[in-house]
Structure 1
């Protein structure tokens, strides 16, 4: 099968969608499929209209000069249509965020060509839902045969509400389980909490610092530390908070790390915190869980795809409960060890071989719906 993956964002940008789409391309290729990617993200060299090869995946870049190198190109559809026609693709797989103009244009192009089209949302629509409902494009896409999916039930529910009776399946993000499996953990005296995220407002990194301060107050006899891995616009606010609260001795902000370095940090830690309210999935939390860490996060988050309350983590309703859950795990070494043992011994269902099978099933549904079968 020849697959076109279409996404506003792609490498060299770093984020959930960018990395997931490229990893999906690699694993589809390893399963014997031919894959090419199309994006409005410029190349690392700065070139905007170029086809390059990354990890044996052809990447067609259709970018234009915009402030901040925004991955937006309203002029892309004619060229995209030509390349898709010339490419002889069997299916198109479009990847959507909250605001994805390139992906939306791509969907209109592929459906206009009569190409089997799968569309996957990597976001929780939340504030954007009224606008999406008003525009009505979900129903139009479904009527034209698009196979709709989202990365979690949390992300799928708003879509299902907008198109009653139309199937919106869950196509989870995938991970290389072998890369993240645990190794022997060296004992240490402190309790180390860790999180990895883009330091953006919606991820709530500053709020996490306050939650952690409250957790430390609830566990006064525990040497509780927090390491926040990642970069983003909120770093300055976080550094200011650390300075104002004299928290240098228990907060660490080392920046963005490689996957190998992330794994090592997880191995050296005791628990993982996922503070974002509008997390559609939480790939970093899944990777940490696979390494063995108990995960703490909201009940209404996409982490519920792989975190069972009281089994391999703790699910909470608000920041006050989150502080209490952190303090509880910090104090209870037996509970941490039990959850760690479960995570190490029980592989998550989101391993890439299974995700690839589910992806191909979605493509088959797209082909059936396109032909009216």
Structure 2
């Protein structure tokens, strides 16, 4: 399958940006439509589990950008579990507003197991953020565990990965430094065009071998 073509240059972190993990603690960000099929309440459970694993001396805050029919359910979960003080749902943002949120972030989370490609995660990766995602999702095509981020197969794995990045500043910064220095190949137009060339060549070979004119 050939991925979408994206111009990722506009997502690159500005030179001399914020020092990760400063000011008001480790900032975790997720971006996406708040639709029931994406199970956004599972993201809140992930954050809750991560907070329980991180020492209280390390401040954490999370921003979940997006809107959709599951927003009310998420707000009720946050109220019920006392998470409104550190998890915010600012609603839908423009591309420019998302870029500003990513500038202030330390970790990006993409927990959906059925993410076929993961455009938001790719943009966060291009912005220099360590990405936490499912090993069985399309995000694993451009995030290698321990290099561009951390991967896991279960919700518990992802909660552990977020907690690890919150507590291990050296690991968090080494991944961020790698991501800031290296734009991802996935989604870039040279890679996409090469993928189309290969797909057309494969189609021609199959047509020739079947004797189809």
Confirm whether residue 202 of structure 1 aligns to residue 37 of structure 2. Answer: yes
- Structure 2: give runs of 5+ residues left out of the alignment: none
State the Cα deviation string for residues 83-117 of structure 1 (Å, max 9, x = none): xxxxxxxxxxxxxxxxxxxxxxxxxxxxxxxxxxx
Q: 2:174 aligns with which of 327, 331, 338?
A: 338
CA RMSD of aligned residues (A): 1.8
CA radius of gyration, larger in? 1
Q: 2:147 aligns with which of 311, 315, 320?
A: 311
- Equivalent residue pairs, number: 204
* Cα distance in 2, alignment partners of residues 264 and 174 from structure 1: 22
Q: What does residue 69 of structure 1 align with? A: none
TM-score, normalised to structure 2, is 0.88
* Cα distance in 2, alignment partners of residues 174 and 222 from structure 1: 38
TM-score, normalised to structure 1, is 0.52
Q: 2:53 aligns with which of 218, 240, 262?
A: 218
State the Cα deviation string for residues 150-176 of structure 1 (Å, max 9, x = none): xxxxxxxxxxxxxxxxxxxx3122321
Report the alpha carbon displacement of residue 319 of structure 1 after superposing the two structures with TM: 1.1
Q: What does residue 321 of structure 1 align with? A: 157
Q: 2:27 aligns with which of 192, 199, 202?
A: 192
Report the alpha carbon displacement of residue 363 of structure 1 after superposing the two structures with TM: 4.4
* Cα distance in 2, alignment partners of residues 202 and 307 from structure 1: 23
**Secondary structure in 1 matching 2:89:** strand
RCO higher in structure (CA 8 A, sep ≥6): 2
State the Cα deviation string for residues 268-298 of structure 1 (Å, max 9, x = none): 1000001101111111001101110001111
**Secondary structure in 2 matching 1:362:** helix
* Cα distance in 2, alignment partners of residues 251 and 185 from structure 1: 23
Q: 1:234 aligns with which of 70, 76, 80?
A: 70
* Cα distance in 1, alignment partners of residues 60 and 96 from structure 2: 24
Higher strand share: 1
Q: 1:282 aligns with which of 112, 118, 134?
A: 118
Q: What does residue 177 of structure 1 align with? A: 8
- Structure 1: give runs of 5+ residues left out of the alignment: 1-169
State the Cα deviation string for residues 326-353 of structure 1 (Å, max 9, x = none): 1110011111110011111122112123
